[in-house]
């Protein structure tokens, strides 16, 4: 049971979130919808978004999982500061993250100059898109997985270790199966955030068709030249996001 008065603000909140989606659907030019979403530029943008989002999600898993383990299962001086810095992209404007990446990996950046000497150019490339997406999406996975690790506790890990299991075995056979739903949830959140990333991408990677122009960038560009196409592609992005979230919920339920 909940207080009846809670239904009123809950309904207002739901309407605030759902009405823009209804307006978007109502604005779509359904007569020309297939043509609007199948142009070469639109297909390139969608395919690039899916590829780079998948790559950035994989990077988030490979780098964020150890980070969440360290933050959840260890204690060391400055841990609170490190956690705050890891979660900083959650509140940092994406364009600021893009500028930070540019002055780190750009041709005149902190590391970019040395990379340029070696013939490696990161900025304004597809690699830059993946890096920008990873930068803004990784905290979502770290937060989700760290919470799952803290909820699961250490008792099963301690039992496995007392039976002679090595730390790597405990991590692989005990810890990760216990927190797999949290990992799946974090990975899906990271993928969804990567799919919708705009600010850091356009700042660090630019907007070159087939190379760095992801679907959000394509929508932004079409907003000024072809509103109907921008609306149609926005709906495509919404549908993809809904499918991703639905898949994640189904996966968590089966786990």
* Neighbour count for residue 111 (Cβ, 10 Å): 13
Give the global pTM.
Answer: 0.90
| pLDDT value, residue 254 | 53
Domain ranges of the chain: 50-254
| pLDDT value, residue 251 | 54
| pLDDT value, residue 195 | 92
- Look at residues 224, 242, 228 and name the one whose alpha carbon lies nearest to residue 34: 228
CA separation for the pair 150, 146 (Å, rounded): 6
| pLDDT value, residue 232 | 93
Is 50-254 assigned to CATH 3.90.550.10? no
- Look at residues 57, 149, 132 and name the one whose alpha carbon lies nearest to residue 97: 132
Could you say which residues of the chain have pLDDT below 70? Answer: 248-255
CA separation for the pair 18, 243 (Å, rounded): 16
CA separation for the pair 196, 212 (Å, rounded): 14
CA separation for the pair 34, 29 (Å, rounded): 10
| pLDDT value, residue 163 | 86
């Amino acid at each position: 049971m909940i207080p009846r008065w809670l239904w009123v603000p809950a309904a207002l909140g739901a309407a605030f979130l759902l009405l823009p989606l209804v307006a978007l659907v109502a604005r779509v030019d359904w007569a020309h919808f297939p043509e609007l979403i199948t142009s070469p530029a639109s297909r390139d943008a969608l395919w690039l978004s899916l590829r780079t989002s998948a790559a950035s999600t994989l990077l988030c898993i490979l780098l964020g999982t150890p980070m969440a383990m360290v933050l959840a299962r260890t204690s060391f001086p400055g841990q609170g500061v490190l956690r705050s810095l890891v979660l900083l992209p959650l509140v940092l404007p994406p364009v600021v993250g893009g500028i930070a990446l540019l002055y780190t990996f750009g041709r005149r950046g902190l590391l970019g100059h040395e990379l340029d000497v070696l013939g490696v150019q990161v900025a304004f490339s597809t690699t830059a898109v993946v890096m920008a997406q990873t930068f803004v999406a990784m905290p979502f996975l770290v937060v989700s997985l760290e919470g799952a690790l803290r909820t699961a506790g250490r008792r099963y890990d301690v039992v496995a270790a007392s039976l002679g299991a090595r730390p790597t075995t405990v991590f692989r056979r005990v810890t990760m199966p216990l927190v797999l739903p949290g990992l799946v949830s974090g990975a899906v959140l990271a993928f969804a955030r990567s799919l919708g990333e705009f600010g850091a991408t356009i700042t660090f990677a630019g907007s070159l068709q087939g190379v760095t122009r992801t679907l959000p960038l394509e929508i932004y560009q079409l907003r000024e030249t072809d509103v109907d196409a921008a609306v149609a592609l926005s709906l495509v992005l919404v549908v993809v996001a809904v499918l991703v979230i639905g898949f994640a919920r189904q996966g968590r339920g089966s786990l």
